[in-house]
Amino acid sequence: MNQIIIIGKGPAGISAAIYLKRAGVDPIVIGKDLGALGDYKSSIENYYGFDTPIDGKKLIQDGIKQAFSLGVRILDDTVISIKDNGSHFLIITKNETLETKSVLLATGKTRENLTIPGYRKFRGKGISMCATCDGYFYRRKKIGIVGCGQYMKHELEYLSRMTKDITIFTHGNNLDEDLGFPIIDERIVEFGGTDKIGFVKTEKGTHEVDGLFIALGAPSSLEFANQLGLIVEKGNLLVNQEYQTNVPGIFAAGDIIGGKLQIAKAVYDGMEVADYIYKYLKDINKKMA
């Protein structure tokens, strides 16, 4: 029986795997892709120790390589479901079923990929996926946020500290709430500008912006939460101070538990949760002996 299976090979999952392995526990890590930073070239400028921008994708790959060279088993696979069997958990992937005494959910947050004309062109050129990463560049500027759920509100809360000139674009979704900022609820038909985004065109009008933040989508962990009866609060998995969910043996760390959606925080979470998983396993193994 496996001691711990980590779902996610991003900064949270890999950091936890490194600390666990070095503490003498053998984790298995399962990841379907490179996570938040995997799908396109992003340059990271706020991570400790690098004085020039670094390639986000390479940073993630280097972390995986580091864990691998320590002897961590890393599976390229997609987890379809998790079943609580009372005494242990079943992890059902596309390729196999694994048994484990504990699980770490480090599945990050799913960011929506839009097909609106101009989206690809201006992504990274005024269109941002991360308020905490890029909000600072838009102090007192005119910005937009695309979204309508908890994720949008999370980003709005942060961005409203940088500027008061914010327009919310729901892209055709209903948002019957006064959030203190104008809400445009028509569908977006185009993102335009010259070398950088300059406007958002909706079905009925054109709105100038200096920058645009995309906050659509839901945490990928939500399905697992439903399967296991985990408590979700404002789109995040609820954990206690020891990173335990409400189901004993299921831990969560990184973007999916909310807070700062940043690499440094995910790495920190991974380090911390490793300690609590170690203690949890020690306790249950003692009881089983």
The strand ranges marked E within the chain are 2-7, 27-31, 43-44, 54-55, 73-76, 79-84, 89-93, 97-105, 127-128, 143-146, 166-169, 183-184, 188-193, 197-202, 206-208, 211-214, 232-233, 236-237, 250-252
Does residue number 10 form part of the binding site for ligand FAD (CB under 6 A)? yes
CB of 182 to ligand FAD, least distance (A): 26
Binders of ligand FAD among 128-147, rule CB under 6 A?
129-130, 133
3-state secondary structure of 123: strand
Find the binder of ligand FAD among 202, 220, 236, 244 (CB under 6 A): 220
- The secondary structure element, H or E, covering residue 56 is helix 56-69
**By C-alpha distance, which of 205, 215, 106, 199 is closest to 160?**
215
Judged by beta carbon, residue 67 or residue 188, the one nearer ligand FAD is 67
Q: What are phi and psi of 19, to 5 degrees?
A: -65, -40
Residue from 67, 91, 184, 261 in contact with ligand FAD (CB under 6 A) = 261
Q: Cβ(27)–Cβ(273) under 8 Å?
A: no
- Of the candidates 16, 20, 36, 188, which one interacts with ligand FAD according to CB under 6 A? 36
For residue 22, give the DSSP letter.
Answer: H
DSSP string of 136-203, one letter each residue: GGGTTS-EEEE--SHHHHHHHHHHTTT-S-EEEE-TT----S--SS-EE-SPEEEEEESSSEEEEEES
Stretch that binds ligand FAD, among 2-10, 112-120, 202-210, 227-235 (CB under 6 A): 2-10
Smallest distance, ligand FAD to C-beta of residue 177, A = 26
Judged by CB under 6 A, the stretch of 125-133, 171-179, 180-188, 280-288 that binds ligand FAD is 125-133
- For 14, what's the count of Cα atoms within 13 Å in the CB-facing half-sphere? 23
Site mask, ligand FAD, residues 224-253, x = CB under 6 A?
------------------------------
- Nearer to ligand FAD (CB atom), residue 94 or residue 164: 94
CB nearer to ligand FAD: give 220 or 245.
220
95: tokens are 């390729």
State in angstroms the smallest separation of the CB of 171 from ligand FAD: 18
Contact status: 30 vs ligand FAD (CB under 6 A): yes
Q: Decide whether 108 or 184 has the Cβ nearer to ligand FAD.
A: 108
Residues that bind ligand FAD (CB under 6 A): 7-13, 30-33, 35-37, 42, 44, 46-47, 78-79, 106-108, 111, 129-130, 133, 220, 254-255, 261-264, 266
